[in-house]
Structure 1
């Protein structure tokens, strides 16, 4: 495939997924779930994000610092995440993530968060990652069949358990990552910690066309207040 044709192909694929998440996705599941409560409100925004990790020995110190820096209170979560991709011939691939609440006692829950993650903005001077995201919530027991029909390939899955803090529009997520040793089996005997550290994410969302420079600086300044416990970085996660 010629370079120009490949770029056009990539653009059309990306456009397709944006339209899919924001409109067609809702229509596809409407008939199937007419007897169930279906909440699906697509939300498109720019997400600004930094990544880091903290050793388990330093976790309590980091939590105490966040308690002082963030809004009062925090929220715990326990979720099952699956990451899918569609090869476009150029980097980065189209990324789709599925997420649902994890509960080993009632794992048949069919309520999903469906997230499209666009490629990062090519802004080398920006101190954070800037990318387009589109979120939908849907209820369906055919979600896996749906993603297979789209030609998506699952890259990995994991269980995340942790805590969320907020500081204004900023969100701080600390999570312990577990993987299953046997695909499709999520009882505790099959779940193993991925590492002796916790993933740290600091993010903020802005309207799709909003100027992001000021918020990016605020995010970076906030992240620097967590040094030396955790160093938040603009990680090139899309490079392979």
Structure 2
């Protein structure tokens, strides 16, 4: 194999690792019904769940009326300070234009970075902050399916993350149901599987394909 062929093979391998598709559905549930949902998930998911408390910022790079790329940054959230220097990057592409698909399908690239001045870095990329929030909740899995249940808070003043500056965005919990697959894999069977799993959470939660890009 020539050096050029090795380079092409390596690029293809890296693309398979980093370039992925995400199939996702969303829903919400009132806090008063959360325990019922958790009991349902405990019965149908893999044993155990993982708690999390994170700070997320969403940026976009716009070359037209709608964002071409969304960049999301997440790190562990601390009540008094957001001093964590480890960030999880997620590049989110525009959804697949498939009206017959029962879920949202979009390209994603995930990576991890360490930085003490992340905001300076994103500014040099020409990105602008769209919104930020703090998410606290739990993650369940059922095979390849990931179920995230979280309560969201926002800060009253950007950059101020003390308890007194945080307020709940809603009395409901956000539910995200997703599967991530290789970019080359046909997403239609996975989409059907995800939709079928979502029916097991009904009538507690009615998960939907939210066309968030349509104004």
SS of structure 2 residue aligned to 1:64 = helix
Which structure 1 segments of 5+ residues have no match?
1-21, 24-41
The question of whether the paired residues in 2 share the 8 Å contact of 1:53 and 1:199 is answered with yes
Structure 2 residue 134 is the aligned partner of structure 1 residue 159 = yes
Return the offset for 1:43. Answer: 2.5
Structure 2 residue 138 is the aligned partner of structure 1 residue 168 = no
SS of structure 2 residue aligned to 1:225 = helix
Return the offset for 1:94. Answer: 1.7
2:28 is matched with 53
SS of structure 1 residue aligned to 2:178 = strand
2:42 is matched with 67
Q: What whole-Å deviation, never above 9, does each CA across 1:49-84 have from its counterpart, x for those lacking one?
A: 001000111111001000011000000000000000
Return the offset for 1:233. Answer: 0.5
RMSD: 1.6
Distance 2:140 2:168 in 1: 23
Taking the TM superposition and a 5 Å limit, the aligned residue runs for 1:5-44 are 43-44=18-19
The question of whether the paired residues in 1 share the 8 Å contact of 2:20 and 2:182 is answered with yes
Which structure 2 segments of 5+ residues have no match?
1-13
Taking the TM superposition and a 5 Å limit, the aligned residue runs for 1:110-121 are 110-121=85-96
TM-score of the two chains, using structure 2 as the length reference:
0.90
Q: What whole-Å deviation, never above 9, does each CA across 1:82-140 have from its counterpart, x for those lacking one?
A: 00011121434421100001112552111100110000001111110000000110101
Distance 2:21 2:155 in 1: 32
Distance 1:107 1:207 in 2: 33
Return the offset for 1:238. Answer: 1.6
**Which deviates further from its counterpart, 81-90 or 196-205?**
81-90
Change (3 A) 1:215 1:230: same
Q: Which 4+ residue blocks in structure 1 deviate beyond 6 angstroms? A: none
The question of whether the paired residues in 1 share the 8 Å contact of 2:146 and 2:179 is answered with yes
Structure with a larger share of its residues in strand: 2
Structure 2 residue 144 is the aligned partner of structure 1 residue 186 = no
SS of structure 2 residue aligned to 1:186 = coil
The question of whether the paired residues in 2 share the 8 Å contact of 1:44 and 1:207 is answered with yes
Distance 1:121 1:44 in 2: 14
The question of whether the paired residues in 1 share the 8 Å contact of 2:80 and 2:162 is answered with no
Q: What whole-Å deviation, never above 9, does each CA across 1:137-161 have from its counterpart, x for those lacking one?
A: 0101121111101111101000000
Q: 1:199 aligns with which of 155, 167, 174?
A: 174
